[in-house]
Amino acid sequence: MLPIYAQVPQCELCNTTGGELVWRNADLRVIMVNDPHFVGFVRVVWHEHVAEMTNLTPAQRHMLLDVVFTVEQVMRDVLSPTKINLASLGNMTPHLHWHVIPRFATDVNFPNPVWALTQTQAAQTAQPCVSKAQYDTLVNALRIALWA
């Protein structure tokens, strides 16, 4: 529980960090999602409870997206994924957050979006597209790049 986020009582991203905290500033935080099928999945979460990018000022949008692109660049440098997937959806949790997902030709659902994972696919043992050592390197490299 991080009361600083607690603007809307029933909102998960107002009441929890949402994952393993990598970095934060006054406006947003970067977290590791720890999805076993998509290791290295990062979210960038705006602290304030707003639904859409156009609820932010242009300067806030650019700042948020510059963080998203720093994450993307570090992810590419460390993991060399087949593709980066970026998305801001929020249909279930309308609290602004960006998904930054490293995708690999060998992952459980490539080339489909991670959200199209079937139960059969989800039940498969996760393929080791990202090793524990790569994961640790990613988290450290994100912290270094974001503090820079």
- Binding residues for a copy of itself (CB under 8 A): 51-54, 58, 61-62, 65-66, 69, 72-73, 76, 82-92, 94, 103, 110-113, 115-116
User: Within 13 Å, how many C-alpha atoms sit on residue 131's CB side?
Assistant: 4
Determine the Cα–Cα distance for residues 115 and 43; give it in Å rounded to an integer.
Answer: 15
Determine the Cα–Cα distance for residues 70 and 93; give it in Å rounded to an integer.
Answer: 24
Q: Shortest approach of a copy of itself to residue 145 CB, angstroms?
A: 12
Q: Cβ distance 108 to 124 under 8 Å?
A: yes
Q: Shortest approach of a copy of itself to residue 115 CB, angstroms?
A: 4
On the question of a cis peptide bond just before residue 111, with omega within 30 degrees of 0, the verdict is: yes
Q: Which is nearer to a copy of itself, 84 or 141 (CB)?
A: 84
Q: Which is nearer to a copy of itself, 2 or 126 (CB)?
A: 126
Closest by CA to 97, choosing from 10, 9, 1, 5, is: 5
Q: Shortest approach of a copy of itself to residue 112 CB, angstroms?
A: 7
Q: Which is nearer to a copy of itself, 21 or 80 (CB)?
A: 80
Q: Shortest approach of a copy of itself to residue 61 CB, angstroms?
A: 6
